Amino acid sequence: FFLLNEDDDDDDRLRGLTKEQIDNLSTRNYGDVHTENERSKTCSVCINEYATGNKLRQLPCTHEFHIHCID
């Protein structure tokens, strides 16, 4: 999740979300809420399959990842 930065020469500018913004994104435990066969079963960041009880973070686009992979 990165904000657009038109001036690539300014490396001192903060990029991405703040910790507060990240903490406000939805989380859930894999296997607890949704029908898992309708969702991805693999984290696109680490390429590992989700296991029941893994904590996932959901982005506004509804993609989900292991919380430790994107925080």
Q: Does residue 3 lie within any of the structural domains?
A: no
Q: Does residue 24 lie within any of the structural domains?
A: yes
Q: Does residue 45 lie within any of the structural domains?
A: yes
CATH number of the structural domain spanning residue 65: 3.30.40.10
Spell out the per-residue pLDDT of the chain, length 71, in tens: 455 555 555 556 667 888 899 999 999 999 876 555 656 789 999 999 999 999 999 999 989 999 999 98
Query: Measured between alpha carbons, how far is residue 58 from residues 6, 9, 13, 23, 37 in Å?
Result: 27, 32, 26, 11, 17
Domain range for residue 65?
A: 19-70
Q: Does residue 63 lie within any of the structural domains?
A: yes
Residues in a beta bridge with 15: none
